Amino acid sequence: MSNATIAILMPGDMGHGVGLVLRQHGHEVITSLVGRSERSRKLSEAGQLKDVGDLDAVVSEADVILSILPPTSAPKLAEDVGAAMVRTDKTPVYVDCNAISPGTATELSIHITNAGATFIDAGIIGLAPNKSKSSRFYVSGPDTSAMEALDGKGFEVINLGPDIGQASAMKMVYAGLTKGSWTLWTSVLLTAQQNNLLDPLIAEFEHSQDANLAAMRSKVPFLPADSSRWIGEMEEISKTFREADVSGGFHDGAAWMFQLMSETPFASETRETLDTSRTLEDSVKAYAEALAKRKDA
């Protein structure tokens, strides 16, 4: 696998970063930009990904396919790639790197294994590897050798064992803490605003919760840019919890909060166009305005 051709589907914030570090470590990295946005094309160029055309071309040329896209799109991509494998009679290793529940991972793996290809369950923790030296890919499945061969090539690969779903579960419980905390903070602040208590609450946080307040200021104003794609991730976390016989209600609420943030004007921003001057207070007030519009609708 030292000279493997690796496909990235699709070249978003994470995908193009993964592609870039793999390119820097000597791999040919390809993608398909059919039907993709201008932003995706620019990110693909930044990641030095080669557009080879449609999915049939990707499947024909790749040794390994990394699926990296919003979780709601993961099942359809697996189905489409499985069909392309049948049409082309090519079976590259398929690695699902998406924020999905163990149950969802198992369900979509069938499209790949039925086509005769190896399926690897993977969960990415950390920033895109072109932005961080601590990115980790947790992997699981009967044969994870194709991903283990990429260990140290811009990110760390950690094997969790032979069971599909283990890596997805790892991603889910980790994101359950991080993104779950961000939405909890937002919910607390929004409820304070609805009770005309935002300023007194922040003053109390300055007195007794300064570390938490600093974290809120660094995160809460900038969540809308990613809110649309994180709704599905929270739903998958809820599903993961329920699959483990644990309440999924916490992250149902997180999905609700990301949905609300996606209805604000800030949701049109991207990570490249974030207004970093926006304050916590201004953001919470905008979320309250979105809530009021819902009630008036």
Query: Do 154 and 202 share a domain, yes or no?
Result: no
Q: Which pLDDT score, from 0 to 100, does residue 2 have?
A: 65
Last residue of a domain, one of 163, 193, 219: 163
d(CA 35, CA 156): 32
User: How far is Cα 190 from Cα 53, in angstroms, rounded to an integer?
Assistant: 46
Q: How many other CB atoms are there within 10 angstroms of residue 94's CB atom?
A: 29
Residues 153-161, mean pLDDT to the nearest whole number: 97
User: Could you give the CA distance from residue 55 to residue 61 in angstroms, rounded to a whole number?
Assistant: 10
Examine the domain organization and report whether 74 and 91 are in the same domain: yes
Which amino acid, 287?
Y
Q: What are phi and psi of 164, to 5 degrees?
A: -65, 135
Of 276, 273, 232, 272, the C-alpha closest to 254 is: 232
pTM to 2 decimal places: 0.94
Both 230 and 159 in a single domain? no
Backbone angles phi, psi at 230, to 5 degrees: -90, -10
The predicted structure's pLDDT at residue 1: 57
For residues 25 and 80, what is the distance between their CA atoms, to the nearest angstrom? 29
Distance (Å) of CA 190 to CA 9, 149, 183, 186: 36, 46, 10, 6
Q: What is the CATH number of the domain that holds 121?
A: 3.40.50.720
Query: Structural domain tally of the chain?
Result: 2
Averaged pLDDT, 278-291: 97
The pLDDT-based confidence of 74 (bands split at 50, 70, 90) is: very high
Q: Which residue has the tokens 């998958």?
A: 236
β 119-125/136-140 pair status: antiparallel
Same domain, yes or no, for 202 and 250?
A: yes
State the pLDDT at residue 3: 84
Domain boundary among 140, 163, 186: 163
Same domain, 21 and 157: yes
Look up the domain containing 65 and give its range: 5-163
Confidence at residue 295, expressed as pLDDT on a 0 to 100 scale: 87
Q: How far apart are CA 63 and CA 229, in angstroms?
A: 28
Tell me the mean pLDDT in the region 159-187.
98
Please indicate, yes or no, whether residues 158 and 236 belong to a single structural domain of this protein.
Answer: no
| Residue 65 to residue 8: CA distance in whole angstroms | 6
CA distance 172 to 182: 15
Domain limit, last residue, from 163, 194, 214: 163
